[in-house]
Amino acid sequence: MAMDLEAMRKAREEKQRGGDFYTFDEGDTVIYVCGPCREEDPLAFVEVKQHRGKGQKDRSFICLNPDSNKVLNHPALQAYLAEQGKDIEGGCPQCEELSAGTFKGTPEELKRVKASSRYFWNVIPMKYRKDGRLPWQALQPADNVVPCPTPFSVWDGIMDAIGNEGDVTNEDGAIFLRVNREGSGQMDTKYKVQPDSESLKKPVKLSKATREAIAMALAEGGPCDLYKIVANLILSRAEVATRMNGVEVEVEEDEDEKAEKAAAAKKPNGARLATRPTPGKPAAKAAAPKGKPKADPRGEPPACFKMDCAPTDDECQKCPFKEECAEACGVDVPPDFVAVKAVGKGKPKTAPEPEQEETEEEALAVEPIAAGNCEVGKFYQLPDDTVGEFKGAAKGKAFFQLEDESRVKLDVKDDVLPIGDDQETSSSGSESDGESVEAEQESATEEVEDELAEMERLLAEKKAKAAKAKSKTK
């Protein structure tokens, strides 16, 4: 019996889990950012809130709280969930546990399970170069529309470009964006987004073939329908509660999925579609399988595989599947795990306890300590008055993570101030430094949301003006 290729294509799209998500290589990549999936949508991206599990396998799941995870309120997503028979009524069990104060775990586990954001876009990778001294290489296949989850830094760069240059997605006058990735390791990777100079000088009118490719990919139910992709990733409320208890969620395969896996097993490298070639790397030739396939010596991948890779997390650093997972999640490959309790000679110094007769100013005075003697997981005041969490030290450098999750390198000989109980900044005097940092992060998030609302208003005004001008010309 001949294989039904159309049925296979539909089965693959139905079960898409992120294996074809686009990730940026080190160097410069020029992309076209596609417009919204729906005509009525004012934004070209979808923000998704998710929780990370606190267990050893660090499994993640999408937050089911519609108040914070706004995408759950979108009619298109709700229709897909109903079609798939997923019940998310009742809210998010993880948020309920956090709000009720019944969460049981360490401060690190508490930080891990709090909701965080991922930003999904649709893009067309246009060209790439490893170095500014090298010529650009056109990326193939042409007009390849792919979903692209990005970290906050890339999202922020794209939003800046839209705020400064206007609607960069305009198919009659598109402005391409250049995403620069510098570094490939955990500590030194940075992203920078700016308009492509050529299209900035002369905006590009997209070809008919490109427009058709975009329309087909972003169509309702298409391979780049972000709402359908997100719906595929969502677990039901019952499944979320099960996952919170550390139990593996098993999903029964339907006949299409079984057929898909059977066909993929016949291919040397599985059924994943190539989104673009890796510049400078020749395609590997896979030998045809002989006999019964051997079991993977690494064992079974964790449930969070290709869902939530975090380079700074211990479990991700220990995971034998971290290379594939990091590529699918669009993050740097986690480094090998190294257990570090304290770096430097001797025990970490602690601030002297103030005597009762000391004045308030004397009580707040803290003896500076060398950065190399800091304790992992503790917060310190850095020489530039910022506050950072000490993550470890290597090769004579101490690494601190700031509130915006950026990294700072200091010489291990530099002095920093430990943040003690007497230096808390909360009005009640009972909150920890970690809670103070989180409060500042929440404030920053609110500012971003306000900016986003203003951006929506400006885009709506622009569309209204364009429609009015169009009606006058008729």
Which of 120-124, 326-330, 423-427 is predicted with the least confidence, judged by mean pLDDT? 423-427
CB 241 within 8 A of CB 94: no
DSSP lists the bridge partners of residue 146 as 123
Q: How confident is the model at residue 287 (pLDDT cuts 50, 70, 90)?
A: very low
> Is residue 64's pLDDT more than 80?
yes
Pairwise pLDDT comparison (266 vs 247), residue with the higher score = 247
Domain boundaries, the chain: 5-249, 360-423, 435-474
- CA 326/CA 149 separation, integer angstroms: 12
Two tokens, residue 348:
């970490």
Q: Which CATH number fits domain 5-249: 3.40.220.10, 3.90.198.10, 3.30.420.40, 3.10.28.10?
A: 3.90.198.10
Q: Check residue 34 and give its pLDDT.
A: 96
Lowest-confidence pick of 64-78, 261-275, 310-324, 445-459:
261-275
CB 236, CB 86: distance < 8 Å: yes
pLDDT at 283: 40
Residue type, 346: G
Cβ–Cβ < 8 Å for 409, 398 = yes
| Rounded CA separation 259/247 (Å) | 27
Q: At 345, phi and psi to the nearest 5?
A: -85, 145
For the segment 17-28, the average pLDDT, to the nearest whole number, is: 77
- CATH of 360-423, picked from 2.40.160.10, 3.30.200.190, 2.30.30.30, 3.30.930.10, is 2.30.30.30
Q: What is the pLDDT of residue 166?
A: 93
pTM above 0.85, yes or no: no
Alpha carbons 38 and 71: distance in angstroms, whole number: 13
- Residues 408 and 382: beta-carbon distance below 8 Å: yes
Does pLDDT of 26 surpass 60? yes
* Structure confidence at residue 187 as a pLDDT band (50, 70, 90): low
Average pLDDT over residues 198-202: 93
- Distance CA(114)–CA(109), nearest Å, equals 9
Residue 286's pLDDT band (boundaries 50, 70, 90)? very low
pLDDT of residue 408: 85
| HEC assignment per residue over the chain | CCCCHHHHHHHHHHCCCCCCCCCCCCEEEEEEECCCCCCCCCCCCEEEEEEECCCCCCCEEECCCCCCCHHHHCHHHHHHHHHHCCCCCCCCHHHHHHHHCCCCCCHHHHHHHCCEEEEEEEEEEEEEECCCCCCCEECCCCCCCEEEEECHHHHHHHHHHHHHHCCCCCCCCECCEEEEEECCCCCCCEEEEEECHHHHHCCECCCHHHHHHHHHHHCCCCCCCHHHHHHHHCCCHHHHHHHHCCCCCCCCCCHHHHHHHHHHHCCCCCCCCCCCCCCCCCCCCCCCCCCCCCCCCCCCCCCCCCCCCCCCCHHHHHCCCHHHHHHHHCCCCCCCCCCCCECCCCCCCCCCCCCCCCCHHHHHCCCCEEHHHCECCCEEECCCCCEEEEEEEECCEEEEECCCCCEEEEECCCEEEECCHHHCCCCCCCCCHHHHHHHHHHHHHHHHHHHHHHHHHHHHHHHHHHHHHHHHHC
Predicted confidence at residue 267, as pLDDT, reads 41
Tell me the torsion sign for CA atoms 369, 375, 379, 382: positive
Confidence of residue 3 (pLDDT cuts 50, 70, 90): low
What tens digit of pLDDT does each residue of 149-163 get?
888 889 999 999 999
Task: For residue 74, count other CB atoms closer than 10 A to its CB.
Answer: 19
